[in-house]
Structure 1
Amino acid sequence: MNSIEFAIKMERDGEKYYREQAENNQNNSLNAVFLLLAEDENGHAKLLENEQEKITYDLAENEVLADANNVFKDRGDFKNKFEKIPDQLDVYRMALQMEKDSIELYEKFFKEATDEHTKKLFGYLVKQEENHFKIFDNLIALVERPDEWVEDAEFGIREDY
């Protein structure tokens, strides 16, 4: 299995995982986020398949991160809506790790690529996966902060929430 075939399989696995999570979150805003991510992973797989088949493709910028942020805008108390699902934080952490692994793999493939066209594709995929990583990093912060955040001068300077 070459790097392109491996990357296609990884993207299809990611798409499947995000669709399963969308199904598990049908009654909340995360359904839309997981569906956006699943579609993004599907798009990445198609790009890779086009590369494999030597079909021309366009590396258009993707607005998944902006769309995901819009899903949570004006939603009120985020924590109360999602704490009913005890393993949800584990899902976010697993997805975060998957995205981190994808970034590392695509960076490796980028370094190993011998032609500029393939190098450009893997550079693009690194940026896309970094956006996915930010989504889950932010989701984890949104869920964890209410339990960890203490607003009191005696606890020192805190970053903006």
Structure 2
Amino acid sequence: MARPRPTEFNKVKTVAENRRARFDYAIQDVYEAGIVLRGTEVKSLRFGEGSITESYAEVTGDEVWLVNSNIPEFSHGNRFNHEPKRPRKLLLKQREIARMHGAVAREGMTLVPLSVYFNERGKAKVELALAKGRKAPDKREYVKEREWKREQGRIMRERG
């Protein structure tokens, strides 16, 4: 039997974060995936450059690809530089890929990257979420609920 995956991932250095995704999507499951990168891409990420705000992931066959993520060219990369918006392969277990494929195909869910970071071993990882899009009324309800929880915390602190 497989080891249970931790709910929190060991993020040593967060490079890029998609904060808007938590508002626009109702997140169901979160996965940690490795990224296949070229040398100059790793160097750019180590300098803290990169953006995943308009990116998404798609399952094609037995592979998952990160599409439309922007890792700018490395300043000292000369002819070995990479293409900034190329699709990047994500490394996941076959069981996770099958689960994602089923959810995307049957339930109409979306694969959204939440953050790109380096773990404690120095490997670049992507926090990938299986999410369902929120409509405008759902977003308003989400904001009301979040503000009410904040208000509850204030009231509890004031009363001791």
TM-score, scaled relative to structure 1 = 0.25
Choose between structure 1 and 2: higher helix proportion.
1
TM-score, scaled relative to structure 2 = 0.25
